[in-house]
Structure 1
Amino acid sequence: MEGSGDMDAAPLLRPVPGSYGVPFFSAVRDRLDFFYLQGEDRYFESRAAAYGSTVVRVNVPPGPFIARDPRVVALLDAKSFPVLFDVDKVEKRDVFTGTYMPSTSLTGGHRVCSYLDPSEPKHAKLKQMLFSLLASRKDAVVPVFRSNFGALLDAVESKLASDGKADFTGLNDVTSFEFIGEAYFGVRPSSSAALGASGPSKAGKWLIWQICPVFTVGLPMIIEDPLLHTVPLPPFLVSSDYKALYSYFSAAASPVLDAAEGLGLPREEACHNLLFATVFNSYGGLKLLLPGILARVAEAGGKLHERLATEIRGAVASAGGNVTPAALEKMELTKSVVWEFLRLDPPVKFQYGRAKADMRVESHDAAYSIKKGEMLFGYQPCATRDARVFGPTAAEFVGDRFVGEEGRKLLKYVYWSNGRETESPSVGNKQCPGKNLVVLVGRLLLVELFLRYDTFTAEQVGKAAAKVVITGVTKAATSVSHGAA
């Protein structure tokens, strides 16, 4: 029964099962299982099955040399996972990327907000800076998105006409970088002398340097594992790229940095934080979010496309042909589709927290004793595909899952933002400050698609680093107004 997890009787106390194996060697073997021999999903599912528990002791990448300690207690169900959001119980200091932390040389020598625990004095000021930025630019998001992604779809149609297919992922990488810069600061990155057209490639390279120990780009194991997962990549190899990015932000974000100084933040530190939040969190997220939504919706097929087109066009028509906040709020199915993607394929799959004191963690079936200092690790796809909550379709894409009163009750089990979808980010928690913006941008992509097309087809090419290619579109039979917000 959906939602039954919260109605289970008080579970029995038991020790956390699982084994870390032989020091060093088991961690290396587990890393190979995680990336190559089993893959992430099977890695955790097999260990949960072997121990008959959704709370287990495992090693997680990157392991020896890079990780401080690969040993974690993995939380693999919807009931145990949310303890990672409770900053009274878990410490979030230096655990953003897990059991290792990238060199601060990649962020101007600063521990940026993502690595700070809310108890640290600068956390509230830095997060407030981000809230203020988002609030000040909220009216720019819709028109800037529509102009940038309207041009992207023009390019898609041109590519389809000439080549029979269009690389949406590649076009999105460039377009999302331009969109984020223009929406946040009113300055397109390509207009910067320091970046020009190289911004997306510089940003992408800098991102890889930080996440490669817990990421696979799909190279053969014998090449990729020693290259990316054994020792950290030297920061000096991306220092020139980072300087160019910093030059753009220091100029384009000048009003934001002025406001940050008013909050008592040093201007340079504020700029490094703004760069990280914009490039790592926002741009890095859109690189995964938008191709992922497009691929899932393409796979869902014509019936869902017809329903989306009807809802979107009707809401826009009722707003005089304009895409307004009120029109967007009427698109219940559209919002559900975005939430369903974020449930099934969260852009950030891993969450971490270190126990602040001895504590008790409950799954659906048992309670476990966690010792102070132990690292808790959540693999989000296991938690958000929990059949005890989402029923027999838990592993399937169901576009209208969150439609209606009963559907909305399930939103508290959507965790992609490092918090429940029913909760809000604040300076006192670690929930993504751009949570609402992400859902908005996902909806806007669907609006652009279905104002223009009745249906479309797309496919994923490759495995670990798959790109999404649009293979066909059917333009709307009736012209639909593309008015601004």
Structure 2
Amino acid sequence: MTSSSSEHPTSSLELSLREIPGSYGLPFIGPIKDRYDYFYNQGENEFFKSRIQKYNSTVFRTNMPPGPFISSNSKVVAVLDSKSFTILFDNDKVEKRDILDGTYMPSTSFFGGYRVCAFLDTTESNHHALKSFFLSFLASSHKRFIPYLRTSLAELFENLENEISEKKSAGFNNHSDNMAFDFVFKLVTGVLPSETELKSKGPGTIATWLALQLAPLGTAGIKPNFIDDIIHTVRLPFLVIKSGYKQLYNAVYDSASSLLDEAETLGMKRGEACHNLVFLAGFNAFGGMKVLFPTLIRWIGSGGEDLHRRLAEEIRDVVKEEGDITFSALEKMPLTKSVVYEILRINPPVPFQYAKAREDIVVESHDAAFQIKKGEIIFGYQPFATKDPKVFENPEDFIADRFVGEGEKLINYVYWSNARETEQPSADNKQCPGKDLVVLCCRLMLVELFLRYDTFTVEIGKLSALGASITIASFRKAT
């Protein structure tokens, strides 16, 4: 560690107040120019990197997509270092009302006409009730996490092995999506989707549901660019997925009756609680796992046989000593824990965070202080914050044991869950309610992987907003 935001030698009293650099350009033209730079001319990383260099500042003004037509305001203040980024977590100073997806919000038709919990600010009464409901459900499900996931993972690896036997390689993503959906659906409802009218359609239905909501924030890669850019100028209709969403909703409504009964005892409308559960399961959980699991396999696969040997030795020794895979056993695997945090640091599953200033506030980078006015939108691009060279040495490198020993202190600067990793979700904050479950899933996937195999090889395909396309080229079974 080179330094940290809390240990930075310059105190807030010594930092000079600097005007926020950057420009939004001419009305209408400026947002479109920035949008073309962001999607087509430069790409995400170069878009932000070039502006940091131009303004000699990690805090600056810019436009963020989608811009004109869909969103009424594309103007943001970008905060792109580890220190300034944390303003996004201060619920006393920023609000999160209708800003989950940034300057654009999908139609509430995608959520049954409700503003689900993720779009609520912490000051809205419904936020506390819904977040409490989620946290209570997760706490009561604690004992089911490991057995449910182990069953799903066993099926995943069997399916991958069968495909390798038949085709000499196996596409990881589709099998991973099916596994993740089965696990999440059973955790929420107590039954497998195959036991409902959904059958095997769940992952595809949610993928379409997600794509229609988030299309204005991405690119389809269609040439020429002005055709691709149409998705940034029109709202894609819910009608396309209406029947599929209804089937998904009905499957949850019919199967999660005891959970919905609990919601009603807490004073919630049954339908609203169900739409929130669909969002929690489909957007938060499955949507995150759809990106994260292939990313996990990508980085571990690329780590090579030496990393695989070290992980296998650690995992097998602890499981042998403990006699089983338990929560306490997982806590005794420092390298396994470290590689999961390193992957969450280097490739956070949700790279963007937004908030709106509740009042005039002063935000500090490592080098200066900036005043942000009440009502201004603040935007954070997390991959820059968690690769801050003033916090992490060799920040662009995947270092498996970065968080082992003294390095464990750096976990404080891993922000993937919409807060510091050392903090915990509560009904009064916006941290991901399933934060600990996500970390557990990643650790358990590695445990199951290296109990079965000594090593494996991967081929990395096209990278997209939904992560990497991964092919398992080979498994070498444990000896």
For Structure 1 versus Structure 2, the TM-score category normalised by the shorter chain is over 0.9
Deviation at 1:225, TM superposition (A): 2.7
Deviation at 1:175, TM superposition (A): 1.2
* Partner of residue 140 from structure 2, selected from 136, 139, 149: 136
* Partner of residue 388 from structure 2, selected from 376, 386, 389: 386
Structure 2 residue aligned with 1:396 = 397
* Partner of residue 314 from structure 1, selected from 309, 314, 317: 317
User: Would you say 1:147 and 2:151 are equivalent positions?
Assistant: yes
* Partner of residue 357 from structure 1, selected from 344, 356, 359: 359
CA contact (8 A) 1:13 1:368 kept: yes
Deviation at 1:224, TM superposition (A): 5.8
Q: Matched residue of 1:88: which SS?
A: coil
**Alpha-carbon distance in 2 for matches of 1:7, 1:399:** 25
Deviation at 1:100, TM superposition (A): 0.6
User: Would you say 1:270 and 2:273 are equivalent positions?
Assistant: yes
**Paired letter, 1:289:** L
Structure 1 residue aligned with 2:54 = 50
Structure 1 residue aligned with 2:77 = 73
Deviation per CA, 1:352-381: give whole Å up to 9, x if none.
110011110000000001111100000000
Comparing 292-301 with 206-215, greater Cα deviation is found at 206-215
Deviation at 1:8, TM superposition (A): 2.5
CA contact (8 A) 1:425 1:431 kept: yes
Deviation per CA, 1:297-347: give whole Å up to 9, x if none.
111111111111011111111122x21111111111111111111111111
List gaps (5 residues or longer) in structure 2: none
**Alpha-carbon distance in 1 for matches of 2:427, 2:334:** 29
Deviation per CA, 1:216-258: give whole Å up to 9, x if none.
3444353763342221101111111110110011012111111
Deviation per CA, 1:117-175: give whole Å up to 9, x if none.
01001001100111111111111111111111111111111111221110001111111
Deviation per CA, 1:54-108: give whole Å up to 9, x if none.
0010111111111221110000000000000001000110000100100001100
Alignment of 1:260-339 (within 5 A): 260-320=263-323, 322-339=324-341
**Alpha-carbon distance in 1 for matches of 2:404, 2:299:** 18
User: Would you say 1:189 and 2:209 are equivalent positions?
Assistant: no
Classify 1:224/1:161 alpha carbon distance in 2 versus 1 (closer, same or farther; 3 Å).
farther
* Partner of residue 207 from structure 1, selected from 210, 213, 222: 210
**Alpha-carbon distance in 1 for matches of 2:353, 2:306:** 35
User: Would you say 1:412 and 2:412 are equivalent positions?
Assistant: yes
Deviation per CA, 1:383-412: give whole Å up to 9, x if none.
000000002x111111111111x2111111
**Paired letter, 1:346:** P
User: What percentage of aligned pairs have identical amino acids?
Assistant: 51
Q: Matched residue of 2:430: which SS?
A: coil
Comparing 30-39 with 104-113, greater Cα deviation is found at 30-39
**Paired letter, 1:459:** E
**Alpha-carbon distance in 2 for matches of 1:242, 1:182:** 18
List gaps (5 residues or longer) in structure 1: 478-485
Q: Matched residue of 1:387: which SS?
A: coil
Alignment of 1:105-120 (within 5 A): 105-120=109-124
- Give the TM-score normalised by the residue count of structure 1: 0.95
Structure 1 residue aligned with 2:254 = 251
**Paired letter, 2:436:** N
Alignment of 1:210-249 (within 5 A): 210-220=213-223, 222=225, 225-249=228-252
User: Would you say 1:11 and 2:12 are equivalent positions?
Assistant: no
Structure 2 residue aligned with 1:36 = 40
Comparing 76-85 with 460-469, greater Cα deviation is found at 460-469
Root mean square deviation, CA, Å: 1.2
User: Would you say 1:95 and 2:99 are equivalent positions?
Assistant: yes
**Alpha-carbon distance in 1 for matches of 2:361, 2:229:** 37
Q: Matched residue of 1:264: which SS?
A: coil
Structure 2 residue aligned with 1:341 = 343
Q: How many residues align?
A: 473
- Give the TM-score normalised by the residue count of structure 2: 0.97
**Paired letter, 1:56:** F
CA contact (8 A) 2:456 2:472 kept: yes
Alignment of 1:151-170 (within 5 A): 151-170=155-174
Q: Matched residue of 2:200: which SS?
A: helix
Deviation per CA, 1:6-59: give whole Å up to 9, x if none.
322132110000011122122112112212221111111111111000001011
**Paired letter, 1:417:** S
Classify 1:295/1:224 alpha carbon distance in 2 versus 1 (closer, same or farther; 3 Å).
farther
**Alpha-carbon distance in 2 for matches of 1:457, 1:218:** 28
**Alpha-carbon distance in 1 for matches of 2:173, 2:9:** 43
User: Would you say 1:177 and 2:181 are equivalent positions?
Assistant: yes
